[in-house]
Every structure is written in C-alpha cells, then in structure tokens.
Amino acid sequence: MFGHLRRDFGCFDQIEATTSPWKSEKSITMCVKLEFQGTALPPEQLAWCGMDSVLLYWDDMLLMVGPYGDPVCYLYDEPIILIPECDGVRILSNTSMEFLQWVPDSTVSIFKIGSTLPAALLYDALDHFDRRSAKADENLRLIRSSLPEAVEACIDAAGHEFDVSRQRTLLRAASYGQAFSRLVRILFQYFKCSDEKSE
C-alpha cells in the first residue's frame, strides 16, 4: 500500500506444486515487507528475481531487495521493462538488454576475492601455468583430493558465464584439472596392477 501517510509495501507470492493427481498439494508462501522512506509513489513495475528477491522500478531507479533486506540500487538513464524469468529478470531498454540473476555458487567459489576453495585454486593454477610459474604445481597439490569437484565447479561456472573469453578460460581450467585428475587415476591403477603382479 502506498499513500501519503503510509509507505509500506507487501508482496506475496504463492507457489503451488502438485506431485501427482492423487497426492496432496504443497503450498509455499513467501512474504516480503518493504518500508520506504522518501517516496509516496508506487513503483512503475514490480518483479520477482528468482525465488528470493524483488525488483521495484521507479522512473530512473531499479531497487533490488533480497531475502535479508539489504537493497541494491541500479540507476538507468532511459526507461526499462522488467521481464521475469524462472532464474532471474530480463531488463530491456531502447538500447540494451541485461539479465539480472543470483550469482551461482560455482561462480562465487571461483571469483570471490581471497577465495581458497578448490575451484578458485584450480582457476589460479591455470593462470600460473600460463605464466610458467611453479605455483601452478603447488595449487594442484593443495587440491589433489578435491580436484574432481573443482573441475565440476569450473564447468558449472562456465555454463553460467556470458563472456565468451571468460567461459573459454573456465573450460580450460576444467580441462587442465581433468588432465591431472585422470593422471592420478591412471597412476593409481598402474601401481595397483603392478602390486598385484608382484604378489
């Protein structure tokens, strides 16, 4: 509800899912209460962004409010149209098209500043390998036991990436890690077979 005296806005969405015609329905209701100070005007557009954030658009400002209430503000010089999709919102203007979505966990694990997760170390190892640095080998040794998960995270992050150059680098990192992952398995099988022959 927007008015001159009260500036609260309640947004409710009910999602119903039926597993089969003979089973009961499950219903999930999500409630987001937003309190605004500074405007008495309702937003021109409102859209869900994924399952847990709301976008509100006024004349030149797009406000994204997540599940924890911290808003993120985007300013636009021209009018936009919000088109909700299952995993985000498409933002159309006269000159551009953008897609706003939750950053996938695999992407965060690689590109978060200071990340020491296996996927980040694998991505970093490729960079050191390209520069012919011995640090590449150190990084691979650190993540030896979790190399398959790091490879999988790089592939997943590449699938969410729109920049072709970064996508290619992520896939190269996955391929680089996969080569060592395969080498570890081959050496393990070789030593296992040679142990069996010696017995």
Question: Which of 53, 82, 101 is at the close of a domain?
Answer: 101
pLDDT confidence band for 136 (50 / 70 / 90)? very high
Q: Is 11 within 8 Å of 31 (Cβ atoms)?
A: yes
Q: Determine, yes or no, domain membership for 1.
A: no
Largest Cα–Cα distance in the chain? 88
Distance in angstroms (rounded) separating the CA atoms of residues 99 and 82: 10
Q: Are residues 150 and 166 in the same domain?
A: yes
pLDDT one-digit tens code per residue, 3-17: 333 344 444 443 333
pTM to 2 decimals? 0.65
| Domain membership of residue 174 as a residue range | 105-198
Q: How many domains does the chain have?
A: 2
pLDDT one-digit tens code per residue, 70-122: 889 999 999 999 999 988 999 999 999 999 988 899 999 999 999 999 999 99
Number of Cα atoms under 13 Å in the Cβ half of residue 39: 15
Contacts of 121 (CB under 8 A, 6+ apart): 139, 142, 143, 150
Q: In sequence order, which ranges of the chain are alpha helices (DSSP H)?
A: 105-111, 118-130, 135-142, 147-160, 164-198
Distance in angstroms (rounded) separating the CA atoms of residues 76 and 99: 14
Distance in angstroms (rounded) separating the CA atoms of residues 43 and 133: 53
Q: Are residues 46 and 72 in the same domain?
A: yes
Q: Is 129 within 8 Å of 115 (Cβ atoms)?
A: no
Q: Determine, yes or no, domain membership for 75.
A: yes
Q: Are residues 94 and 125 in the same domain?
A: no
Nearest in space to 111 (alpha carbons), one of 68, 159, 166: 166
